[in-house]
Amino acid sequence: MQADRWQKIETLFHQALEQQPRQRAAFLVAACGTDQELLREVESLLATHQQDGGVLGDTASDLAAEWAKVNQQFSPQPKSSRTEKLKLQQFGPYQVIAKLGKGGMGDVYLAEDTRLRRKVALKLLPIELTTRKEWLRRFELEALAASATNHPNIITIYEIGKTDESHFIAAEYVEGKTLRQMIDAGRLEFSTAMDIAAQVASALSAAHAAGVYHRDIKPENIMVRPDGLAKVLDFGLAKQSKTPSLLTSSSATTVVEILTAPGTVVGTPQYMSPEQARGLAVDYRTDIFSLGVVLYEMLAGRAAFTGDELIEVLASVAHREPESLKKLVPGIPDQLEKIVNRAMLKDREQRFQTASELQLELKNLKQELEIEERLKDRRVTSWIKRLFG
């Protein structure tokens, strides 16, 4: 990150602190415009500021100075130098193979665990941030949030560690396609969409039982293996309630406290819940809305909420209804449309109140449709036999 970029983040951070909590969301949306990465970085700083009781506000200028120093130190190197170096680099027992992408808290690489001879996904905290306790804490909290549950539909965290110069998270490497890649290839079949959504709902149910709210459910954060197993990824924006959910789960093993102040917009605009878009306090029902939006997109092949500007997207999420699935998806079952619509209700008191409730509705409908299809096939077969027998 360039020093002038950090200066911009720091300036917006301080300006946001001067706003009333419930005015911060609108201020930052207007100030950041279409730069969603800028919005994300400022909001992440605000979240850390809240977690640390305001300590970050006293050190923001020091952070800016360090960024400038780091930039001077590393700017003469070619942009690809760090990536090229990583191709031959080892972090503890992990040998880097190739870059996979960018996560909320650093770049992600495909690596090999030389001890167990297995592939892993290795997320590295940017080296220039490793001396800052605020960023380290955020990095560690991401790993803790993801490991708060032991569930087949949630990515497995193997370990969090560090070498002389780098901090890393080693996680399960999931082979397959992101849900984004699948949607980009065309609308998903009803049964496939319901199955993936039910798996994600199951993952969220377990996370919510541990008091963890993901807050960034979107197609890019869902991987689907060739065998159809879905995995929820990237808990970089996860939030933990002060107490775990009253829902019970034997898989809830870790309690992590990750708080965000009211007035903070955190997430991806198109998949935010209305309360997220307004900067209000959120609970587990924010993930239910986001999953409803993802299910809508799987079925329709297009986003539920759109806009040319970020503020338009947020306004659409908060106040407008998406186009009817009946108009967009020929033959969609009435009950499936009702499930999607209920998950996306603006009033969270009217939505599905638990992810497990949504999961059950999807599983039951999927079974009913499969039975109907089998009966239909049998009737057709019987008719053909009578006609030509």
Count of Cβ atoms closer than 10 Å to residue 166 Cβ: 18
Give the span between the Cα atoms of 155 and 289, in whole angstroms: 21
Distances (CA, A) of 106 to 126, 168, 272, 371: 6, 9, 22, 46
> Of 315, 329, 355, nearest to 151 (Cα)?
355
Q: Under 8 Å CB-to-CB from 324, ≥6 apart: which residues?
A: 337
Tally the C-alpha atoms within 13 A of residue 223's C-alpha that lie toward its C-beta. Answer: 16
- Give, in degrees to the nearest 5, the angle at Cα 62 between 61 and 66: 115
Residue 186 C-alpha from the chain's centroid: 22
Give the span between the Cα atoms of 172 and 334, in whole angstroms: 38
- The residue to which tokens 């965290």 are assigned: 157
Q: What is the SS3 assignment for 205?
A: helix
Rg of the chain (C-alpha set): 23
Selecting among 195, 216, 234, 287, the annotated active-site residue is 216
DSSP per-residue codes, 34-68:
T-HHHHHHHHHHHHHHHHTTTHHHHHHHHHHHHHH
Give the span between the Cα atoms of 318 and 332, in whole angstroms: 26
216 is catalytic: yes
Count of Cβ atoms closer than 10 Å to residue 121 Cβ: 22
- Give 80-83's long-range contacts (Cβ < 8 A, gap of 24+): 82/127
Are 269 and 317 spatial neighbours (Cβ–Cβ below 8 Å)?
A: yes
Q: Under 8 Å CB-to-CB from 138, ≥6 apart: which residues?
A: 44, 47, 48, 105
Are 109 and 95 spatial neighbours (Cβ–Cβ below 8 Å)?
A: no
Catalytically annotated residues:
216
